[in-house]
Amino acid sequence: MSAQTTTGSETVWSLQQCVDHAVKNNLQIIQSGLSVEQAAIDVNQSRANQLPTVNGSASHGFNNGFFLDPVRNQIQNTQIWSGNVGVNGSVNLFSGLQTHNTIKRNRLEYQASQLDQQKVKNDVTLNVVTAYMNVLLNQEILKTNQERLTLTQSQLERTEKLFRAGSVPESNVLDLNAQIASDELNIINAQNNIELAELRLIQLLNLTNANPANFSIVVPEIPNPDQSVIGFNAEDVYATASDRMPEILRTRLRIQSATRNIEIARGAYYPSLSLVGSVSTRYSSGNSLISFGNTTVGRPIGFIDPAMSQELILYSPQQNEVKYPYFDQLQDNVGQFIGINLNVPIFNGFRVRNNVQLSKIGLRNAEISSDIAKNELKQTIAQAYTDAVGAQKRFVAARKQLEAFEQAYKNAEIRLNNGLINNVDFNVARNNLVKAQSDIIQAKYDYTFKLKILDFYQGKTITL
């Protein structure tokens, strides 16, 4: 983007610079960009859903009283510390192609969100052009009012001379003074309208430090509408616009997305199959090791050896319980599991069937939204074309009218100076001229703006 021209402390903006700056900095466009980022994350997440899920878990706690020891699997009444550590995972093998269709749907929604943002950019562009044209229109109205005031002041000077010469009554002077006050009021109103239009443009550009006092625009030379027939018709513009405008393209994508939603809902009719596995281990402070110490003499076993004629004595090692270390228990208590989970839907309160029906309604709604968007675009283009043709005709008629009223005003001015008519008749001629000037300005800018809209829908860059 070319830099803005600067004169002193004032920045002068061209139409193209305004459009480029608004597209980069307008808050509505920035906000729509967040929706695009969210849609991109949804696409990435739907892809990631194809990957295995792995989760780890760990716990450690204190038990007091009557409980089931999780390691020894014994009911005890004591105080111990216990815990477990594990990792589990699963892989989706089949789920009615729901994951596959979700990826495709999210891709379509991502593309549609990009077109949503482009639609916002187009709206902002047209709003900037409208605000820019309003500034130009009000500047031209101000210029006309200033010229009108100059003419009235000149007329007042001549009338004062005629009054001092005794050729006209004093009422003529008083009427012209009142007219000057009215012209000055019109100038103030035109200046206020310029500031309001500039303020609207500043807001669209999101210029936080700018205000109408230090903001101005380039004033291009806008040609008058010619009398030649516009070289295209509304149907041609619509045929071109329907293949490129985002409000139409996004509805087509959302119809495809709604179709994918139906496939996702139908996927719940099918069984789902997943591969699962886990690795876990446990610890309990109530778990201990048995240590065998020195051999001790046991009790008699209760019979006499016939050969030796003596009682047999049982000798057994001494058993001692020792502490079972924490990490040794975790290492010794490791267990693995792997298996397949099969889930077969049999009856779920008609939830799947109703979801399919809702998805079909969503598809029908998307189709209707597409038809509405087409009708709105066709109506907008037809309205702009009709307005452009009408403005062209109004300009031709207003130009002829202006020429006639200018001649009538000059004649009325001469007759007023010669005392042949009064101020009432002169003001009628003057008001007719003022209205003709206003009509021709309005027709000129209306024609130019509508023609630029039609160029925009045909893919042409808006320039002045």
CATH superfamily label, 14-51+95-270+346-457: Outer membrane efflux proteins (OEP) (1.20.1600.10)
- Tokens coding 369: 């939204």
DSSP state for residue 97 in the 8-state scheme? T
Distant-in-sequence, close-in-space partners of 302: CB < 8 Å, separation ≥ 6: none
pTM for the model? 0.79
Q: Quick one: CA torsion of 91, 96, 99, 104, rounded to 10 degrees?
A: 150
- Looking at the DSSP bridge assignments, the partners of residue 67 are 76
Distant-in-sequence, close-in-space partners of 242: CB < 8 Å, separation ≥ 6: 248, 374, 377
Integer angstrom CA distances of residue 421 from 42, 154, 207, 246, 310: 80, 18, 54, 62, 165
DSSP state for residue 358 in the 8-state scheme? H
Of 148, 217, 225, 223, nearest in space to 438 by CA: 148
pLDDT at 148: 85
Per-residue pLDDT of the chain (464 residues; tens, 9 = 90+): 333 444 445 578 999 999 999 999 989 999 999 999 999 999 999 999 999 999 999 988 887 777 676 666 777 777 788 888 999 999 999 998 999 999 999 999 999 999 999 999 999 999 999 999 999 999 999 998 898 888 888 888 888 887 888 777 888 788 888 889 988 999 999 999 999 999 999 999 988 887 877 888 999 888 888 766 677 889 999 999 999 999 999 999 999 999 999 999 999 999 999 999 999 998 887 776 655 555 555 555 455 555 555 555 555 555 566 677 888 888 888 989 999 999 999 988 899 999 999 999 999 999 999 999 999 999 999 999 998 888 888 888 888 888 999 899 889 888 877 777 777 788 888 888 888 888 888 888 988 888 888 989 988 888 87
Q: For residues 450 and 394, give the distance between their C-alpha atoms in angstroms, rounded to a whole number.
A: 14
Where are the domains positioned within the chain?
Answer: 14-51+95-270+346-457
Q: For residues 215 and 370, give the distance between their C-alpha atoms in angstroms, rounded to a whole number.
A: 41
**Angle formed at CA 257 by CA 110 and CA 30, multiple of 5 degrees:** 25
pLDDT at 3: 39
Are 174 and 168 spatial neighbours (Cβ–Cβ below 8 Å)?
no
pLDDT at 275: 94
pLDDT at 20: 92
Q: For residues 369 and 123, give the distance between their C-alpha atoms in angstroms, rounded to a whole number.
A: 19
